[in-house]
Amino acid sequence: MLKELLKPEIKELIEQKNWRILREAIIYWPPPDIADLLEDMEVEDALRLFLLLPKELAADVFTEMEKDLQIKLLQQLTNEQVKQILMELFPDERTALFEVLPGNVTNRLLNLLPPDERREALQLLGYPEDSVGRLMTPDYVVVKPHWTIARALEHIRKYGKDAETINIIYVIDRAGHLLDDIPLRKFILADPKDKVESLMDWEVISVSAYADQEEAVKLFERYDLYALPVVDQNNILLGIVTADDIFDVIEEEVTEDIQKVGGVTPLEISYVAASPFTLYKKRVFWLSFLAVSGFLTSTVISYFQSTLSKVIALTFFIPVLIGTGGNTSNQVSALVIRALATGELTLNRWFEVVKKELVVGFLLGITIGILLSLWGYWKGGPQIGPVVGVSVILIVIWSNLVGGLLPIILTRIGLDPAFISSPLLSTLLDITGLLIYFMVANVMLLK
């Protein structure tokens, strides 16, 4: 990063409050690097430097900032300064900003917009949270099928400068129905006297404005799209979603899934911006749940206390057996959750998961069972080795089945498998793994 390379010089300019020279030093930086620099500064200094940036660059930098810094700057700027920033943002970027602001701040900003821009912003905010409608931009270029290529190119030149992208041009009829999407290069290479309809193949991929954002992500991945048209229930073109918006959604979804798998309620803001109390609230529920579930594990151990008292060596292998079951289930649940998320695996194919994971579990169980039975023989003697080996085989097969089926079951009943699976698996397999181990020991040692 440029900021890191020039850190001593930049730091010196900041300490000297030499904002003019600093401005000249950074105006050619990429907007994300400028945003990083501002986030490392005191709010008052960041505000001074931000106000010195050229208008268009300031808008680009603003979209790259963390949400908490955006809010702090908005509170310090005058209405006219805020209006200039808002007018430079694309509609979808404005919507993303309004979504995270307090209601009173959003109302203030909406009132600063001209009537047309305000109606547009309210329309986008009217769609459900995490829907494609919140993501789309109404800034795109459309042409009609009966136009000549020359007329279409003239129209693109006139209106393309205000569009979010002109790589793809959309064809609509007089009623606004989406008919096709055509790459700009086809217009450039075509005979100016030809009609637009001569370039059309009448095939277009679109998405509903009320669809979940994840559906748009899947369409981008499947068809390698650069932009995706958004339509209503009557196939009227409402807007488009571009690849940069999808990249942001993918990053958010991956971040959420990682946090959920770790048993943390999604933060919705960056870790750096989160306060200690926010982190406490996001983590306390599942930690409490897992702590209480530990009592169930203790109950199982106390129930088989007589078995342990007779063969004390069994105690030594409890951690490794529980850990093996948990690791096995976490592996397969991660694979199944990802397959469900990408659409590779559908809920009605659950029996394929059962068949596949039975075979995989048996093979893994035999392999790990042989290794741990040898260890059990060495540590506990000829009686303990077979108990550990058989227990591991059964635990691994059981863990494989549970780890594969639990995400499917949770998805079927409308729960997020990424959020629920890890804590549930930890609890369920600790308890059932111990039950399997002690029952095998009872059968093989105390018969």
pLDDT values of the chain reduced to their tens digit, one per residue, 447 residues: 545 555 566 777 777 777 777 777 777 888 888 888 888 777 787 887 777 788 778 888 888 888 778 878 887 777 777 777 777 777 777 777 777 676 656 766 766 777 677 767 767 777 777 788 878 887 889 999 999 999 999 999 988 887 888 899 999 998 889 999 999 999 999 999 999 999 998 889 999 888 888 888 888 888 888 889 988 888 888 888 888 888 877 777 766 666 666 655 665 666 566 667 776 777 677 677 767 766 777 777 777 777 666 667 777 778 888 888 888 888 888 888 878 877 778 888 888 888 888 899 899 989 988 888 887 777 766 778 888 888 899 999 998 898 888 888 888 887 777 666 566 677 788 888 888 888 888 888 765
Distance CA 36, CA 180 (A): 41
Which two tokens mark 140? 């795109």
CATH class of 276-445: mainly alpha
Does the model's pTM come out above 0.75?
no
Give strand pairing partners of 230: 207, 239
> Which residue in the block uniquely carries the two structure tokens 């908490």?
68
CA angle 341, 346, 349 (to 5 degrees): 140
Q: Which residue has the tokens 């009173």?
A: 104
Q: Which amino acid is at 403?
A: G
Q: Where in the chain is the domain with CATH 1.25.60.10?
A: 2-124
Q: Give the per-residue pLDDT at 170.
A: 94
At residue 142, the pLDDT reads 92
Q: Give CATH 3.10.580.10 domain extents, the chain.
A: 142-242
Provide CATH code, domain 2-124: 1.25.60.10
Q: What is the CATH number of domain 142-242?
A: 3.10.580.10
**Ramachandran class of 361: left when φ > 0, alpha when ψ lies in -120 to 50, beta otherwise:** alpha
| Side-chain-facing half-sphere of 93: CA atoms under 13 Å | 18
In this prediction, residue 299 carries a pLDDT of 76
CA 318 to chain centre: 37
Distances (CA, A) of 62 to 1, 66, 230: 18, 9, 26
Start and end residues for every CATH 1.10.357.20 domain found in the chain: 276-445
Q: In whole angstroms, what is the distance from residue 289 CA to residue 287 CA? A: 5
Separation CA 203–CA 180 (nearest Å)? 6
pLDDT of amino acid 122: 64
